[in-house]
């Protein structure tokens, strides 16, 4: 039976909707506005109904099970009916989707989303503004600029700050590294010209280096590769036991690079590492960068929620001294993907990304002060993602967002205490944000597959690696919860990323029991006696 309560029909005529081959019938315009309203209502109804009856974050479906469903769809034979298409979509996607709104989804940096942002998503996709030039977006351009100014003020970057929305933290970090690279090249060119031995950019690039902590996001290394510097241009600075950059080690690397004739184009501090939620000591790092004359970039893709926190804004102290900052609203502002931005303290540095095309943003437009966001962006065509945050702030307000983020940070602190007291697990570090990395260690209740195996607490590290991996995979296959995994110091660990205020301490305790149960059953099985893979290498 179709989910739709009524047949699709065209209210502007007395007859049925023309067949699927009649493309005009499917264009959104003044004549099809009512059909659009009904189609969206049906789609929203289906999603709402699915979410309302979802009892698990995942069904546990495997690629091998789902692939035939997808490959069996004949894309050259349209269904011709929105009702049939939605019924099919329920079968091939919605039924087995991973639902981030569920309180036992604890895996990655995926947040549940707020309803005002979903309203914004519906509006922006229908109007379909492209945020590259004024003549394609008008008010959208000004709304995005207003939100950039608002974020810059929250960061404390000053009146000369600016920025632009991006597709996510990876693009924001790439954009920031592009600006840092070109600023460094400009400085070296100026200095060598004054010394009578000018260098060109191609000769400078092999000398450029980026310093980032061992726990920084992989997109920094990827940005170095994309910018022609190579992965080896990124130097990993050691972290302390709390997984924060060691400033003594950073000072040592800055000095070494100077002595060896290398040019540090940027230091990257992370305000919320992906694995540990750790926040680097930004004020001390800023001091070192200021003395060395080095660009400071703060990757606050995760930690940007602190900007609206009523209780924890101080954790971002020092960020106002950054030359560039990455923020991901779709992580800790509870926005749908995608919603991110890169901001700079000096708006003139954005000129490194400016290129004038006669058909798009000719120089005369700039002379007439016509605002064009493409002058700042690496993208040309770009969605009006800023609208989601705009409506969220206008409906909920910043304090309400911050209180939600504070809730998940509070829950992580409670979960750390729970884990720290649980003899079945060891936890790597106490979280500053909402991420917990831990490992099943075969505590007092751990079973042994045979009497010849070591006693609990003395289990072989390789065997524990396999038990932790098995526990995560078995839990996902059951669909009862979803957790992440990572490697710490060569050992496989489990990871909770808490971004849902609806997740309770009871949920967390239950998932820990489930994980321990899967690990213990694995250790009791004959399967545990046979290694399946070598141990992970230390990261």
Q: How confident is the model over 230-243, as pLDDT tens digits?
A: 999 999 999 999 99
Q: CB under 8 Å to 296, separation ≥6 — which residues? A: 266, 267, 269, 285, 286, 289, 321, 322, 323, 324
Q: 257 falls in which pLDDT band (50, 70, 90)?
A: very high
Mean pLDDT of 124-143: 93
What is Dmax (Cα atoms) for the chain?
A: 83
In 3D space, the residue among 488, 508, 502 whose CA is nearest the CA of residue 274 turns out to be 488
- Given CATH 3.40.640.10, say whether it is the number of domain 130-393: yes
pLDDT at 539: 43
Tell me the fold of 400-529. 3.90.1150
How many secondary structure helices (H) and strands (E) does the chain include? 17, 12
* Region 26-99: CATH code: 1.20.1650
Which of the two residues, 18 and 85, has the higher pLDDT score? 85
**Phi and psi (nearest 5°) for 97?**
-65, 155
Tell the residue number behind the tokens 């600016």, with chain if given.
162
Q: Would 130-393 and 400-529 be classified into the same CATH topology?
A: no
Lowest mean pLDDT: which of 130-134, 193-197, 274-278?
A: 193-197
Mean pLDDT of 327-356: 95
pLDDT at 359: 77
pLDDT at 95: 96
pLDDT at 23: 85
Tell the residue number behind the tokens 């609208």, with chain if given.
387
pLDDT at 21: 58
Query: Per residue in 33-42, pLDDT tens?
Result: 999 999 999 9
pLDDT at 355: 85
Sequence ranges of the domains in the chain = 26-99, 130-393, 400-529
- Cα 373–Cα 378–Cα 382 angle in degrees, nearest 5: 60
């Amino acid at each position: 039976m179709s989910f739709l309560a009524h047949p699709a029909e065209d209210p502007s005529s007395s007859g049925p909707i023309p067949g699927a081959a009649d493309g005009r019938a499917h264009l959104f315009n003044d004549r099809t506005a009512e059909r659009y309203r009904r189609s969206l209502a049906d789609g929203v109804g289906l999603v709402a109904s699915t979410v309302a009856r979802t009892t698990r974050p995942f069904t546990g479906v495997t690629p091998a099970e789902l692939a035939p469903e997808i490959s069996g769809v004949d894309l050259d034979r349209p269904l011709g009916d929105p009702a049939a298409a939605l019924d099919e979509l329920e079968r091939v996607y919605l039924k087995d989707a991973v639902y981030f709104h569920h309180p036992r989804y604890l895996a990655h940096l995926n947040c549940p989303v707020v309803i005002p942002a979903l309203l914004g998503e519906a509006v922006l996709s229908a109007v379909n503004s492209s945020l590259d030039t004024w003549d394609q977006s008008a008010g959208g351009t000004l709304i995005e600029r207003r939100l950039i100014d608002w974020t810059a003020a929250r960061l404390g970057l000053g009146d000369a700050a600016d920025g632009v929305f991006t597709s996510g933290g990876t693009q924001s970090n790439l954009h920031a590294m592009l600006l840092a690279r070109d600023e460094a090249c400009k400085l070296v060119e100026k200095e060598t010209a004054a010394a009578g031995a000018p260098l060109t950019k191609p000769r400078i690039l092999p000398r450029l280096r980026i310093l980032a902590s061992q726990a920084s996001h992989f997109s920094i290394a990827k940005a170095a590769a994309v910018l022609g510097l190579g992965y080896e241009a990124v130097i990993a600075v050691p972290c302390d036991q709390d997984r924060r950059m060691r400033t003594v080690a950073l000072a040592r690397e800055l000095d070494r690079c100077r002595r060896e004739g290398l040019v540090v184009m940027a230091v990257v501090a992370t305000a919320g590492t992906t694995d540990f939620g750790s926040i680097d000591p930004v004020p001390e790092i800023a001091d070192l960068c200021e003395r060395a004359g080095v660009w400071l970039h703060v990757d606050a893709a995760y930690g940007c929620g602190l900007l609206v926190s009523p209780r924890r804004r101080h954790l971002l102290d020092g960020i106002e001294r950054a030359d560039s900052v990455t923020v991901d609203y779709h992580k800790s502002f509870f926005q749908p993907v995608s919603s991110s931005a890169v901001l700079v303290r000096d708006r003139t540095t954005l000129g490194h990304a400016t290129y004038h095309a006669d058909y798009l943003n000719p120089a005369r437009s700039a002379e007439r002060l016509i605002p064009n966001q493409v002058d700042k962006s690496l993208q040309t065509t770009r969605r009006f993602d800023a609208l989601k945050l705009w409506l969220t702030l206008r409906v909920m307000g910043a304090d309400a967002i911050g209180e939600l983020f504070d809730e998940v940070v509070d829950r992580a602190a409670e979960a750390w205490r729970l884990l720290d007291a649980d003899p079945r697990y060891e936890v790597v570090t106490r979280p500053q944000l909402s991420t917990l990395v831990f490992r099943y260690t075969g505590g007092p209740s751990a079973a042994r597959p045979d009497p010849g195996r070591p006693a609990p607490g003395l289990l072989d590290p390789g065997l524990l690696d396999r038990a932790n991996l098995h526990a995560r995979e078995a839990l996902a296959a059951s669909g009862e919860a979803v957790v992440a995994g990572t490697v710490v110091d060569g050992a496989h660990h489990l990871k909770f990323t808490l971004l849902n205020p609806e997740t309770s301490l009871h949920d967390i305790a239950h998932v820990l029991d489930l994980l321990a149960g899967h690990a213990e059953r694995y250790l009791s099985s004959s399967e545990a006696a046979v290694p399946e893979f070598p141990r992970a290498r230390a990261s």
